[in-house]
Amino acid sequence: MTLQNCLILAFILFAIGTWGVLRRRHMVGMLISIEIMLNAANINFISFAYFKAADATAGALFSIFVIAVTACEMAIALAIVITMYRRHHSLDVNQLRDLHE
Amino acid sequence: MTLLSNALFSDIMFYLVAAVMIGTAIATIMAKNLLQSAVFLIFSFVGTAILYLMLHAEFMAMAQIMVYAGGVIIFVIFTILLTSHLGESALHIKLPRTFIALVISLAFLWVMVRFVVLTPDLNVATPTATSGYASLSSFALRLLSTGPEGFVIPFEIISLLLLVTLVCAITIARKSKGEE
């Protein structure tokens, strides 16, 4: 296991997440894909902290902050999903186009 | 890269970026649809940011992206979308969605893996971290220490963010009085 392996794994996960975000139309599906992408970013943080950082704890701490911000983002996003479902009875993102009505 | 000398490469890149900037600027002026012209303006601004990067003004490039491409244009697009009905079919893309998404993500993967493989610095197997670098006690000591090495202010900010987010989530998701 080298740093290179970890980074390539993280990039593969990130690319899979990008694919998911771009091809899904269902809002929850997009959120799940975004979670995969954030997970890849976290793998990057930890692997750099483990292999390269002069101060490994500080590097690993950043992934804690990423996790906290992810939790915030999911809370807001799921609240929006619930409101959207209540209003439209559908979670197709194309429905967001008439958000201003 | 080995075929091209560095100066020639930067020359070619400059002409490419300049052509993109001029082309998108003309498209901004000529586009019939206001929304399309705003999107072309984003590309023009991104081209300007690439030019700043080539001139080694990294901070200016970041500011350009964040303020113009991130802030001003999003504001403009929101204003256009909220005040008119242009947005309904203005940006319809006819390409097959799954295929294009796969192409974009594979292109990203190819570029990133290429850079990682070409950087010999990253091919290390010996970790610099000591054991227990991510243990609970070391996390807690660093998170809550007030010294120059501590993260107590980000910790407080993130806790405030969590609180605000929870309040926002409840506000968004709760039923209003008239609603069933």
Give the Cα separation of B142 and B165 in Å (integer).
25
Give the Cα separation of B115 and B109 in Å (integer).
10
Average pLDDT along chain A: 84
Average pLDDT along chain B: 82
Optimal mutation site among B128, B168, B171, B174, interface A, most CBs of chain A within 10 A: B128
User: What's the pLDDT at B161?
Assistant: 92
Q: Cβ B169–A78 below 8 Å, yes or no?
A: yes
* ipTM summary value: 0.72
Is residue B94 very low, low, confident or very high in pLDDT (cuts 50, 70, 90)? Answer: low
Domains of chain B: 1-93 (1.20.120.1200), 135-180 (no CATH)
DSSP-derived secondary structure letter, A26: B
> pTM for this one?
0.68
Q: Is B152 on the interface with A (CB under 8 A)?
A: no
Please report, for the domain that includes residue A84, its CATH number. 1.10.287.3510
User: What's the pLDDT at B96?
Assistant: 77
Query: What are the residues facing A26 on neighbouring strands?
Result: A92
Residue A60: give the domain boundaries. 3-98
Q: Cβ B133–A69 below 8 Å, yes or no?
A: no
Q: How far is CA B46 from the centre of its chain?
A: 11
Of A14, A53, A100, Cβ closest to residue B129:
A53
Is residue A13 very low, low, confident or very high in pLDDT (cuts 50, 70, 90)? Answer: very high
User: What's the pLDDT at A15?
Assistant: 92
User: What's the pLDDT at A60?
Assistant: 83
Q: And the tokens for B136? A: 């609970």
- pLDDT of residue B62 exceeding 70, the answer is yes
Give the Cα separation of B166 and B156 in Å (integer).
15
**Mean pLDDT value of segment B16-44:** 86
Domain count within chain A: 1
Optimal mutation site among A12, A16, A21, A22, interface B, most CBs of chain B within 10 A: A22
Q: Name residues whose C-beta falls within 8 Å of residue B89's C-beta, 6 or more positions apart in sequence.
A: none
Q: Cβ A7–B116 below 8 Å, yes or no?
A: yes
User: What's the pLDDT at B1?
Assistant: 47
